[in-house]
Amino acid sequence: YAEGEANARIMAMVVHPFIMGVPHRIALLRETLAYMAAKSGTAFMTAGAIHDWFLAATGGPPAANS
């Protein structure tokens, strides 16, 4: 979290319902997500939203190699 203060960091989380949705794990998942959401500047995005954010922040896709 502290490293992302100077530049953006992305942490991908894959949450499979059959693993994390079971009763003995769901409470910990909720607690973890609440902890992460409480940090200032934290954003939850889909892959498409990250793509759109990147293009907006960099001015577009990189130039194709010639």
* 61 dihedral zone (left: phi>0; alpha: psi -120 to 50; beta): beta
- The model's pLDDT over 13-63, given as tens digits with 9 standing for 90+, comes to 888 888 887 888 888 889 999 999 998 888 899 989 988 988 998 888 777
Residue 11's SS3 state is: coil
pLDDT given at position 38: 94
pTM over 0.85: no
For residue 65, pLDDT over 70 is answered with: no
Sign of the CA dihedral with 19 first, then 23, 47, and 33 last: negative
